[in-house]
Amino acid sequence: MSSVFGYGSSQNNDITLDSVEIEEIFKDQEGQTSPSKWSLQELKDKFHKMEMEDLYRKYRVQQRHSLLITLILIGIGAGLSLIAVILVHHKSFFEDLPSILTVIISTFVFVCLLILLYFDYIIKHLMKPISIIVWMVLVTKVYLLIAFRTVHLPSEYLGFILFMILVTYTLLPLSVRDACIVATVTCLPHVIITCVLAIGTIEEKTLQIAGNIVAFICVHLAGFYHKYMTEIAHRKMFLDTRSCIESRIKLDHQQIQQEKLLLSVLPAHVAVEMRNEMIQRIRDEPHRYHGLHRNSGSTTHFHNLYVKRHMNVSILYADIVGFTALASECSAPELVKTLNELFGRFDKLAEENNCMRIKILGDCYYCVSGLPISRPTHAVNCIEMGLAMCDAIRTVREATGVDVNMRVGVHTGNVLCGVLGLRKWQYDVWSHDVTLANHMEQGGVPGRVHITGATLNELGGKYEVEPGYGHKRDEYLGDAGVDTFLVIPPQQSPTSSSPSPGSAAMSGIRRRKSTARKVARYLESWGADKPFANLSEVGMSGKGVGSGLYVMQVNMLAMTNVDHQTKVAYRNQLMERKVSERLLQAIEGKAAEKQWLKSEDIMRGTLTFLDKDREKQYCKLKDSFFKSYLGCAFVVYLCLVAVLLITLPKTWMLLVSCIVSCFLFLSIIVIVLANHIFCYCDQKPAGKWLTDSINSVLRKRWFRRLLTSITLLMIYTMGIVNILNCDFSVVPTVLPTNSTVELLSANDTSSYVSPYQFTCQFPPYFIITCLLALTSTMVFLHIAYWFKAVLMGIALAVYLLVFNYTHADFIDAYDKAIFHSAGNDDFMMTRWGGSLYLATLFITLVILDRQMEYTSRLDFLWQSKFGVEKEEVETMESLNKVLLENVLPKHVAEHFLKSGMKSDELYHQKYNLIAVMFASIPNYKEFYTETDVNKEGLECLRLLNEIIADFDELLSKPKYSCVEKIKTIGSTYMAAAGLHQLNECDGDDDKPLHTLERIDEEGVVDKDKEDSRAKRALYYVGVLTEFAMAMMTKLEQLNKHSFNDFKMRMGINHGPVVAGVIGARKPQYDIWGNTVNVASRMDSTGVIGHIQVTEETSKVLTQLGFTCQSRGYVTVKGKGQLKTFLVKRLDKSLSQTAIH
């Protein structure tokens, strides 16, 4: 069957899951993923526990792929730039040929790797080996370039090594542990080479090596922090993505369950309209679940009417003759099982014969053929259906020896079909033709199909018939002058289909308890579906899930006789497979979404959300890691200061700048950590106000940006400001003083003194401090990337200006002093190499920051969508609750939704004492006419809908909370009080119903139980009587507004009943028993405008203070003469004092 709502369809080969299991899984996972703060180890443990590590690796593949491509592209660009610098500034091409070839080969390798990374197989299986190759190419290139140098300095290619450490943590797809190992291996050879080959005095080398180590440690810490925090962010985002997927699955489950539930009660053409109305109502008024039918868009006060007219259909009524006596011998489980098996078989027959079951009334079953789709064979369908029902009952009679039979009546005409009222929706049909079909059954013959002339005309001579003489058995048929006929079953003589003498003789045989059980066991062999069995399953067909050996095993499992827990465990595995499959599909979908391309949600330039409201919500997010950003930035600052103190002269300017910047930095940290530092002041008003104010301000994005700006600008300034104190001068006479730079040739250990004198001994370390200063930007992970890019851009412009303009001579003089003194006139200037390092680092950091913000915003987007999904799930849950409670009483609905309920269970409950009411409007039949003026009866039904809806609204009053509407039968309203009580009949389930009735009549019960039952009888009977009187008042009010004169006739009785749910395709809650039958007779034999009760019920009402007037003895079908009473209406409530 295709989905009528446009989502999810169930196929025969679908794998299914218990809805209870889905709910339990989601509850467990919500508990697992709800915390907002995790350590990386906790997250890893959680992933292993939830078996998500493999999926997470697949999730990270595409992100790491893009980062690796970024690194290769940066490597290619840096290599080409380096070649250009070498060619422009070097005089001898052949002397630099090894270096040029090294860069060219490494660049070519990068190009080849870039091509390989566009193949899916390489991406999925060889990402880590390629990342190791990329690292090896970078390391090999830098150390070959160092090896080809004729003069070795401690600072040579130091910027390149720092960059490699940084990209090892940020761009290479390695774990945190592997990144630490690889980064250490990257820098260790440089330290060794510097110690062995670098020129200069031991003191100078020691200072520079110490500075190098501090710089390495600084970049290590910054890279480790970035790797650690981004890993946490990605894992949290993965959990959020999984939560969103789970929510989507749950929403799909709710939608499928809702569809099946609605379609189990209503036909598709009515269900679509009602569902849309209900969803809108629940969203508008989430706390008013039952006021769903009033037309809010209309200026009138009428409720929505879901009724359609269908012409030329055939109506079949069927009644099981002899079932009432059999039912009295059944225990509660036997009765419900028997009814479910019988009507389950009839439902299958209806489906086979293209008939739609309308309703079950006790042991009466009626259906229609020809709606909602008109069928030319509707009459034939009903005849075949009737004959099949008679055959089914005959097999029961022959197999069990129990005298039961089927009486069937069929008529062809027009009907109005739909749903009336606000509660306990049941699809029904109305028209004069429906009434006639009902009387055709009542005037029929057991074991035969009784039809009218209208139906006979539609058969086209397909069946042999004989006169039915229905007017002799039913007065209505005689008054209407209807000619009736009995269908002669094929291959049978007219006399052979009548009940046999043996069967008639059986009717005198006394039925025993074993007879009922024999019937129940025989009917159980038919294997009818259980009510709501389809609602406990969700179709899980899908690619890779719904086929193969696994499906065969699951389907075989359903056919085997294993315990419920085994089935639950097996289906639990399927749920995990389904979630993993959907998550994998989401990962593939996210992989296809590139952050540089156009998006429906995010502006690709600034990464702001296109939805302004969402952008405002994102800006209001609290950054819980901002304190750690400042802490890590402070560590980078300390490392930078350490490098300055190690490599620069200890001047006043250096000391003052360090003290002032450190004071400012500590002040910022104190502000951020105020709530921790001043926690002892929380009890004092002033201290509490201070900490609360600071915390409130920290939540503001502008304030975080302000602190970030101050911090970064201060670090940027510290990286370059002390160069203002550096200068050089030409020394005409060489003096071997400590203030000169002594250089040792790489090949000659003789002393040589430079002609330049420098106030700062190691100018290249200004480039290193600038690199460290820019590196501090990356630790502020959740600050807008464009904001950081602007700050870095300003710093980069200042650095390039200083190195290439204001202090270019100073740095060039250092190069000349170093390389000329070593006899090497062909070298790359330090400021050009430094500019290349700074520019490359700037580009890398901008890309990294952009990627981090994109991940953060995507995380927020998923969380936002998850919130929407969650709201939709809650709406669907509310709708399902409304649907289920409009099919079943609340306590019965909870039974079907409760955890651990087996899908093959039948619901049944036996009650010792229930009050039952039938309320009809006899003169509605006179009001109902089918003319063009009232749209062939449609407007008459509109008024009946208003009446029933008003009655339903009474049930929402707290005083009537124990009253439950059972159903409506035409213009008759059936309700009962006391069904919500818990198992007050425990231990009596196996007793036949007539035994409980005898106990009730004879009073064979202990004193405590008798007192308890007496109080309940007072309460339930009193409340139901008051409800009946309130219905009369409601009808009188409606009469005033509609200018009608409807009158009610009511009957109330109390006693034991059996309740249960029967029918798999259209589950229906009902109650059975002698109490129900007598209550119905109290209505049908009652007096218009009055409430008629039995003598036992009148005694209860008299104790409550009601006035009951004896009517005398009334003939009741099946009971003979019963003394009845009429209840006088009251103006005040008396039932509420019954239990006090």
Among the options 1117, 1119, 1123, 1128, which is catalytic? Answer: 1117
Q: Assign 982 a pLDDT band (cuts: 50, 70, 90).
A: low
DSSP three-state, residue 721:
helix
pLDDT of res. 1005: 44
Nearest-angstrom CA–CA distance, 113 and 135 = 12
Most confident segment among 24-28, 465-469, 906-910, 1001-1005: 465-469
Which residues neighbour 344 within 8 Å (Cβ) at sequence distance 6 or greater?
526, 528, 529, 1062, 1063, 1064
Q: Which of 62-76, 165-179, 823-837 has the lowest mean pLDDT?
A: 823-837
Residue 273 pLDDT exceeds 60: yes
DSSP 303: B
Burial 833-860 (b: 16+ CB within 10 A, else e): bbbbbbbbbbbbbbbbbbbbbbbbbbbb
Average pLDDT over residues 835-839: 91
pLDDT of res. 33: 42
pLDDT of res. 1093: 94
Q: Assign 379 a pLDDT band (cuts: 50, 70, 90).
A: very high
Average pLDDT over residues 1087-1099: 92
Residue 23 pLDDT exceeds 80: no
pLDDT of res. 519: 56
Beta bridge partners of 914: 1055
Which residues neighbour 821 within 8 Å (Cβ) at sequence distance 6 or greater?
743, 745, 752, 754
pLDDT of res. 37: 54
Residue 1082 pLDDT exceeds 50: yes
pLDDT of res. 291: 45
Nearest-angstrom CA–CA distance, 406 and 48 = 63
Nearest C-alpha neighbor of 1047 from the set 921, 958, 938: 921
Burial 170-190 (b: 16+ CB within 10 A, else e): bbbbbeeeebbebbeebbeeb
Nearest-angstrom CA–CA distance, 355 and 352 = 8
Between residues 676 and 925, which one has the greater pLDDT? 925
DSSP three-state, residue 296:
coil
pLDDT of res. 769: 93
Between residues 516 and 622, which one has the greater pLDDT? 622
Q: Assign 701 a pLDDT band (cuts: 50, 70, 90).
A: confident
Q: Which of 662-666, 843-847, 1004-1008 has the lowest mean pLDDT?
A: 1004-1008
Residue 452 pLDDT exceeds 50: yes
Q: Are strands 537-539 and 16-18 parallel, antiparallel or unpaired?
A: antiparallel
pLDDT of res. 1124: 93
Q: Assign 539 a pLDDT band (cuts: 50, 70, 90).
A: very low
Most confident segment among 133-137, 299-303, 734-738, 780-784: 133-137
DSSP three-state, residue 727:
coil
The three-state DSSP-derived secondary structure of 609-659 is: ECCHHHHHHHHCCCCCCHHHHHHHHHHHHHHHHHHHHHHCCCCHHHHHHHH
Most confident segment among 188-202, 211-225, 999-1013: 211-225
pLDDT of res. 690: 59
pLDDT of res. 254: 66
Average pLDDT over residues 163-176: 90
Cα 1002 from chain centroid (whole Å): 56
* Residue 1057 amino acid letter: V
Asked if residues 256 and 7 have their Cβ atoms less than 8 Å apart, the reply is yes
* C-alpha angle 335-337-342 in degrees, rounded to nearest 5: 95
pLDDT of res. 3: 40
Asked if residues 548 and 365 have their Cβ atoms less than 8 Å apart, the reply is no
State the CB neighbour count (10 A cutoff) for residue 792.
Answer: 23
State the CB neighbour count (10 A cutoff) for residue 372.
Answer: 14
Which tokens in the block code for residue 47?
């992933």
Q: What percent of the chain has pLDDT over 70?
A: 70
Residue 1119 pLDDT exceeds 50: yes
Judge whether 1081 counts as a catalytic residue. Answer: yes
Average pLDDT over residues 611-634: 83
Between residues 832 and 894, which one has the greater pLDDT? 832
Between residues 253 and 618, which one has the greater pLDDT? 618
Long-range interactions of 343-348: CB distance < 8 A, separation 24+: 343/528, 343/1062, 343/1063, 344/526, 344/528, 344/529, 344/1062, 344/1063, 344/1064, 345/392, 345/523, 345/526, 345/528, 346/318, 346/389, 346/392, 347/528, 347/1063, 347/1064, 347/1065, 347/1066, 348/528
DSSP three-state, residue 1105:
coil
Average pLDDT over residues 815-841: 74
pLDDT of res. 1014: 63
* Average pLDDT of every residue of the chain: 76
Residue 309 — φ and ψ, nearest 5°? Answer: -100, 135
Most confident segment among 52-61, 128-137, 986-995: 128-137
- pTM score above 0.75: no
Judge whether 375 counts as a catalytic residue. Answer: no
* 914 sits in which H/E element: strand 908-920
- Omega of the bond leading into 755 within 30 degrees of 0 (cis): no
Q: What percent of the chain has pLDDT over 90?
A: 23
Q: How far is CA 652 from CA 378, 648, 657, 713, 837, in A?
A: 106, 12, 8, 21, 30
* 966 sits in which H/E element: strand 963-969
Nearest-angstrom CA–CA distance, 886 and 889 = 7
Q: Assign 212 a pLDDT band (cuts: 50, 70, 90).
A: very high
Most confident segment among 39-53, 308-322, 673-687: 308-322
Residue 418 pLDDT exceeds 60: yes
Residue 140 pLDDT exceeds 80: yes
Residue 1025 pLDDT exceeds 90: yes
Residue 964 pLDDT exceeds 60: yes
Among the options 407, 571, 788, 1081, which is catalytic? Answer: 1081
Q: Assign 824 a pLDDT band (cuts: 50, 70, 90).
A: low
